[in-house]
Amino acid sequence: MPSDPEKIEPMLRRIRGARELYSSYAEALREQGLDVDGFLADCDEFIAVLEGRHEGDFDVQDFLRRLNAFTEEAKEFMHIQEQVKAVEVAGELHDVLPDMEKMAAEYRERGEPMHLRTAAEIEEALARIRAGLAKGKLDQDALQDMSLALSAEMAELQRRIYFRNAVHALSWELAPPERWAKLSPEQKRQTEDLLATWREAREEVLGALPLEDRRRLEALRYEDFDKPGACEP
């Protein structure tokens, strides 16, 4: 065994890393007949040796041979599992892709720049995914791009909802007394409840918005609410 700490530390990192990796796959590896428990126990024993906590003999060279053999066997298993998963995903995609095409068409029909951009990104990713599946491959990058396009669409939708809710609350928070005087008692109660909720959530809502949106909202004056486009997200 090396006694130099500079040589021991890299070996410790390697063995701890191997133990953590194969421990995470332990159940699946056991199902394939691999002796995971014995291997993990060997790792624990070797770590004790390297840390100076072990008593008795330990065949380091034999352990390293077993480690290399186990690593190769486990790598092959993981490769097979990845292939199986890819086949399962490809099968699921054949059911999902028509739904994605329909979603892209719906975004395109809405006609707004944001929706048109999302539709184009989904359609482009769909074309790449279909081309890959035709060759028996799964284009992971195209799949991720499609997911990112949908995430961006949802994030933009959430931004607009927050912005409009803030505008509605601010229009009452800044409203002059004569506007409040026109409300019925029930309408006044509902509006006061709205403002109470808004004041509790103000920082959370404004904090979730881009800085440009927050500055626009904070700069609003009551007369701005009647200006065309002034309060559009």
Residue range 58-89, pLDDT digits in tens: 777 777 777 777 777 666 666 555 554 554 55
User: Is residue 231 in a domain?
Assistant: no
User: Is residue 139 in a domain?
Assistant: yes
Rounded to whole angstroms, how far apart are CA atoms 79 and 90?
A: 17
Structural domain count of the chain? 3
Residues 48 and 13 in one domain: yes
User: Is residue 233 in a domain?
Assistant: no
Residues 52 and 103 in one domain: no
For residue 155, the model assigns a pLDDT of 85
For residue 101, the model assigns a pLDDT of 85
Cα–chain-centroid distance for residue 172?
A: 37
Residues 90 and 133 in one domain: yes
> Domain range holding 98?
84-153
- Estimate the crossing angle of helix 5-24 against helix 60-110, to 10 degrees: 50
Q: Is it the case that residue 139 has pLDDT exceeding 90? A: no
Rounded to whole angstroms, how far apart are CA atoms 91 and 85?
A: 10
Residues 143 and 163 in one domain: no
Residues 174 and 216 in one domain: yes
Residues 189 and 148 in one domain: no
Last residue of a domain, one of 97, 124, 153: 153
Phi, psi at 4, each rounded to 5° = -75, 120
Q: Is it the case that residue 189 has pLDDT exceeding 80? A: yes
User: Is residue 21 in a domain?
Assistant: yes
Cα dihedral: 123, 126, 127, 132 (round 10): 170
Tens of pLDDT, residue by residue over 18-69, are 788 778 777 776 776 666 787 788 888 888 888 878 777 777 777 777 777 7
pTM over 0.85? The answer is no
For residue 84, the model assigns a pLDDT of 47
Give me the chain's average pLDDT, please: 80
Q: Which residue has the higher pLDDT, 77 or 156?
A: 156
Of 107-121, 127-141, 144-158, 186-200, the poorest mean pLDDT is in 127-141
Residues 90 and 116 in one domain: yes
For residue 82, the model assigns a pLDDT of 54
Q: Residues of 194-226 as b/e, b for ≥16 C-beta within 10 angstroms?
A: ebeebeeebeebbeebeeebbebbeebeeeebe
Q: Which residue has the higher pLDDT, 163 or 228?
A: 163
Q: Which helix (H) or strand (E) holds 59?
A: none
